[in-house]
Amino acid sequence: MKEAKKACDLCGLAVETEGFDLRTQEGEKEFCCEGCKGIYLMLHEDLVLEISDEIVRPIND
């Protein structure tokens, strides 16, 4: 069984809204809001594998 709510990987609050997630070298991270996601991005930019679609798209060459 899965837990109904996940904790924000930055502040630890319950994640009420889905969509603020990031793929990192340490696995999938979920955040409660855009702000937490943004802060995590700034702090752990090197760990983030994929920033959500609307911000950065992977370049295919």
- Contacts to Zn ion by CB under 5 A: 8, 10-11, 32, 36
DSSP string, 2-21: --SSPBPTTT--B--STT-E
- Minimum distance of Zn ion from residue 7's CB (angstroms): 8
Residue nearer to Zn ion on the CB measure, 38 or 51: 38
Residue nearer to Zn ion on the CB measure, 11 or 43: 11
11 neighbors 36 (Cβ within 8 angstroms): yes
How far apart CA 14 and CA 47 sit, in angstroms, is: 23
- Minimum distance of Zn ion from residue 58's CB (angstroms): 26
